[in-house]
Amino acid sequence: MSENLYDILAQGFPADRSQPAMLLADGTALSYAHLEEQAGRYARLLCDLGVKPGDRIAVQTDKSANAVFLYLGAVRMGAVYLPLNVGYTAAEMAYFLGDARPALVVCRPQAEAAMREIAAKTGVPNVHTLDAAGGGSLTEAAADLEPLAESYPAKADELAAILYTSGTTGRSKGAMLTHRNLSSNALVLRETWGFRPDDVLLHMLPIFHVHGLFVAINTTLAAGARMHFLPKFDADQAIGLLPGCTVMMGVPTFYVRLVGHAAFDKQAAANMRLFVSGSAPLLEETFQAFEQRTGRRILERYGMTECGMITSNPYQEAPGRERRAGTVGFPLPEVEVRIADDAGHILGTEEIGVLEVKGPNVFAGYWQLPEKTAEEFRPDGFFVTGDMAKIDAEGYVHIVGRAKDLVISGGYNVYPKEIELVIDQLPGVVESAVIGLPHPDFGEAVTAVVKRTGEIGEEEIIAACAKDLAKFKVPKRVFFVEDLPRNTMGKVQKADLRKTFGETFKAA
């Protein structure tokens, strides 16, 4: 039996391929037959371009149905799909392409000239474009091709995708995900969350991260279900579409915005069987406000790029197994979790330590970083997540903090080191510390605290960051201090800074 992720998903496609897979904002319905054909054409084009199984395909485009077909086509012919946030700047893209050495980069038409320059410098042989409506040179080149009929016979442990995640050193690492990693998670989630062919998912997440790409799309396709596929989250649009949907997946900001919307009520959620939240902690107050407003309990789950989904609150609720606010539920089937101290000693119930994971969902390592990979695994194969957690007496996992220096803003991860490196090299700056402060909409807001000698001001620092860094990483505020607080070891005390400036966004 084929171990190619595409084939495993396709086993769940409806027998009647005229059934819709995607419903677009303008009312267009795209059938499974269309999805198969278009993915097959892109797969054929990649072969014709000389892309070989195992070669990377880097994609930085707007969200579109065709971008999904390109992902499926790439996986189908054995290439390694590498999606990148559209917000990444030229400097960031040069790093990713230089590190991943893809055989092809697909970009927005308006970015083509700049991308060709980066591609030439980094040795990427092919550049194509794909626009928000699915047009562009890639689609034109594929238009008359015979769809690829046979998938590449990938082995389960061959790579299907690489997703970059930032790191504490400020250097992004490519997490290598295999066909098995992605297919096991899709099939487990289909079962665990009760996906059925008549489900309609509201898809408003970006498709360059695990949540929008793998959790939402793979699970829906593996069930032969359909999705309302929208370019981005919009609360008005969501409220309009929810009555025709059965499942929604979102980051906590989506739910904060829904409960903050006067028109969001029981009626809007009446047809829904499941609301899933993840990528960042869902505040208990949001969980409760949502339940009061709709009578529905949001199902919070926990995951990360390197592991896909790890734990989930129960879908089927029963006494003692309810969806509980402030917890991320239980390990998914086939996934083992444990709590350990820094030295790797396993801790007991209610003890706080770092969460470790093992299972078919756990990635194959960081691209070209075998030593870094080895550091993050225990000898018995458990991956060390860097999330501080405990498991309570009933088995619920609670994420209580992070051992890694990480800010999560609106579901996007921001590693302070990367921003500090940009700020520290500015003239007039002595040093900086970047922290996350509570923010009512984004959960946490990136904030810089700076020691300066010169004339440099807040606006200049923000502008300098915006030049090199994607927008979601740019500090929303910059504060100046005489000295950064340090402990006796000389380490900056970020907890003190979070306390000092903690009220900054409270009234935002």
Per-residue contact track with ligand AMP, 161 to 190, x per CB under 6 A?
----x-------------------------
Q: How far is the CB of 153 from ligand MCA (least distance, A)?
A: 28
277 near ligand MCA, rule: CB under 6 A: no
Pairing between β-strand 274-277 and β-strand 299-304 as defined by DSSP bridges: parallel
Residue 385, binding choice from ligand AMP, ligand MCA, none, Cβ under 5 to 8 Å by partner class: ligand AMP
Comparing CB distances to ligand MCA, the nearer of 167 and 410 is 410
363 near ligand MCA, rule: CB under 6 A: no
Q: How far is the CB of 439 from ligand MCA (least distance, A)?
A: 8
Comparing CB distances to ligand MCA, the nearer of 64 and 279 is 279
Residue 387, binding choice from ligand AMP, ligand MCA, none, Cβ under 5 to 8 Å by partner class: ligand AMP
What are the strands of the beta sheet with 126-129, ordered from one edge?
Answer: 126-129, 104-107, 56-60, 80-83, 159-165, 173-178
User: CA nearest 45: which of 148, 126, 176?
Assistant: 148
251 near ligand MCA, rule: CB under 6 A: yes
Q: Name the DSSP letter for residue 110.
A: G
Whole-angstrom Cα distance, residue 266 to residue 255? Answer: 14
477 near ligand AMP, rule: CB under 6 A: no
Number of residues that bind ligand MCA (CB under 6 A): 22
Residue 165, binding choice from ligand AMP, ligand MCA, none, Cβ under 5 to 8 Å by partner class: ligand AMP
Whole-angstrom Cα distance, residue 86 to residue 365? Answer: 25
Residue nearest to ligand MCA (CB): 410
Comparing CB distances to ligand AMP, the nearer of 127 and 310 is 310
With tokens 């921001």, the residue in question is 414
- The residue range among 63-71, 201-209, 235-243, 323-331 that interacts with ligand MCA, by the rule CB under 6 A, is 201-209
174 near ligand MCA, rule: CB under 6 A: no
With tokens 């209580």, the residue in question is 400
CA-to-CA dists, residue 377 to 84, 255, 363, 370, 381, angstroms: 26, 34, 11, 11, 6
Structure tokens at 234: 């919009």
Q: How far is the CB of 15 from ligand MCA (least distance, A)?
A: 31
Q: How far is the CB of 362 from ligand AMP (least distance, A)?
A: 13
Whole-angstrom Cα distance, residue 306 to residue 362? Answer: 6
User: Is 16 exposed, middle or buried, given 0-12, 13-18 or 19+ CB atoms closer than 10 A?
Assistant: exposed
Comparing CB distances to ligand MCA, the nearer of 218 and 409 is 409
- Among positions 406-445, residues that touch ligand MCA (CB under 6 A) are 409-412, 442
Taken as a whole, the chain contains a residue count of: 508
Instruction: Indicate which single residue of 106, 304, 423, 474 sits in contact with ligand AMP (rule: CB under 6 A).
Output: 304
Instruction: Classify 147 as helix, strand or coil.
Output: coil
The pair phi, psi for residue 235, each rounded to 5°, is -65, -40
- The residue range among 3-11, 303-311, 358-366, 393-401 that interacts with ligand MCA, by the rule CB under 6 A, is 303-311
Helix axes 65-76, 32-48, angle to 10 degrees: 60
Q: How far is the CB of 360 from ligand MCA (least distance, A)?
A: 16
Q: How far is the CB of 42 from ligand MCA (least distance, A)?
A: 23
206 near ligand MCA, rule: CB under 6 A: yes
The pair phi, psi for residue 324, each rounded to 5°, is -110, 130
Whole-angstrom Cα distance, residue 63 to residue 319? Answer: 41
Ramachandran bin of 297, using left for φ above 0, alpha for ψ from -120 to 50, beta for the remaining angles: beta
Comparing CB distances to ligand AMP, the nearer of 46 and 328 is 328
User: CA nearest 54: which of 160, 173, 210?
Assistant: 160
Comparing CB distances to ligand AMP, the nearer of 279 and 373 is 279
328 near ligand AMP, rule: CB under 6 A: yes
Question: Are 430 and 469 spatial neighbours (Cβ–Cβ below 8 Å)?
Answer: no
409 near ligand AMP, rule: CB under 6 A: no
281 near ligand AMP, rule: CB under 6 A: yes
Q: How far is the CB of 185 from ligand AMP (least distance, A)?
A: 13
- The residues, ordered by sequence, that sit 6+ positions from 107 with a Cβ below 8 Å of its Cβ are 59, 60, 61, 115, 127, 128, 129, 130
Q: How far is the CB of 258 from ligand AMP (least distance, A)?
A: 17
Instruction: Indicate which single residue of 115, 154, 280, 464 sits in contact with ligand AMP (rule: CB under 6 A).
Output: 280
Instruction: Indicate which single residue of 5, 111, 176, 205 sits in contact with ligand MCA (rule: CB under 6 A).
Output: 205
CA-to-CA dists, residue 444 to 159, 332, 385, 417, 503, angstroms: 33, 27, 20, 16, 12
Whole-angstrom Cα distance, residue 409 to residue 474? Answer: 11
305 near ligand AMP, rule: CB under 6 A: yes
Comparing CB distances to ligand MCA, the nearer of 174 and 278 is 278
Question: Are 506 and 438 spatial neighbours (Cβ–Cβ below 8 Å)?
Answer: yes
- The residue range among 51-59, 274-282, 368-376, 478-486 that interacts with ligand AMP, by the rule CB under 6 A, is 274-282
Q: Which residues bind ligand MCA (CB under 6 A)?
A: 205-206, 209-212, 232-233, 251, 253, 278-279, 303-305, 409-412, 442, 471-472
Q: Which residues bind ligand AMP (CB under 6 A)?
A: 165, 210, 278-281, 300, 302-305, 328, 385, 387, 399, 402, 408, 413
